[in-house]
Amino acid sequence: MGTPDFAVPSLEILVENNYDIVAVITAPDKPKGRGQKLSQSPVKEYALSVGLPVLQPTNLKDPEFQKELKSLNANLQIVVAFRMLPEAVWSMPEIGTFNLHASLLPQYRGAAPIHWAVMNGETETGLTTFFLKHEIDTGSVILQEKEAISPNDTTGEVYSRLMKKGAGLVLKTVKAIENEDYDLTAQDENQELKHAPKLFKENTELDWNEPAEKLYNYVRGLNPFPTAWAIINDKKYKIHQSSIIDANKSGEIGKINTDHKSYLHIQCKPGILALKVIQPEGKKRMGIADFFRGNDI
């Protein structure tokens, strides 16, 4: 069960290792692009390319879908980047349903674990496989693997590495279950937990009253999607890339320093953030020098 490109390598590695995939469940086709043509999910595209049956329920609680799912007689279900499952679905197989989550649970439970790990300046994240239960992302851990985050990594770069590493962990987990060679570990709730909520306009804005280091982490954590944004002189700009000039310098919050040609610096609290690649509303993204050739601040 999966939808985006993140889930494809996990399905692919199971096919290549000759596991019997009785069906693939993915999101319904959606209109996309200017022409609004129906577009298949990456998981569906791959599944069809290797001749796997595909189910695309709009409602996972639909009795007809659940009847069809039960008739497949799967003994294990695997979830990678899908949606929440009702208990009738996740409890259906005799072995159960396990999920691949892109964090070291219990840290960063939620919809955007990679984004928030980078946005919070973490130096390490990872992957967890765990059996599903009622509360989201809380089930018993089967296996975990760590992944370092460098100070300059973007979410896109960490995402790509975890996508590949995740496939290996899914295969390792399936083999462990097949051989009945694994221990389940309860998630440790006795620690301060960081969460990974969905990303909205409200939690992706840069606030110059924050330290430059935090805003730099937000910019790379929201790159390539959905992208950090900020208000500069009452206009909205997406901020694709930035750097820190001086992490400790104090000054008038929000003050702009620029030569109107090659650099654009903004005073934070504390520190100075240099904007490297920006995108004015309604225009394409551009490097700061290109921006100043036809615009000004």
136: number of Cβ within 10 Å = 14
Do residues 60 and 86 make contact, with C-beta atoms less than 8 angstroms apart?
A: yes
Rounded distance, CA 102 to CA 81, Å? 9
Determine if residue 72 is labeled as part of a ligand binding site.
no
Query: Which ranges of the chain does DSSP label H, i.e. alpha helix?
Result: 8-16, 42-49, 63-71, 87-90, 113-119, 155-178, 212-221, 288-294
Rounded distance, CA 276 to CA 287, Å? 6
Determine if residue 49 is labeled as part of a ligand binding site.
no
Determine if residue 184 is labeled as part of a ligand binding site.
no
Determine if residue 127 is labeled as part of a ligand binding site.
no
Do residues 143 and 177 make contact, with C-beta atoms less than 8 angstroms apart?
A: no
Rounded distance, CA 224 to CA 238, Å? 11
Annotated binding site for (6S)-5,6,7,8-tetrahydrofolate: 103-106
Annotated binding site: 103-106
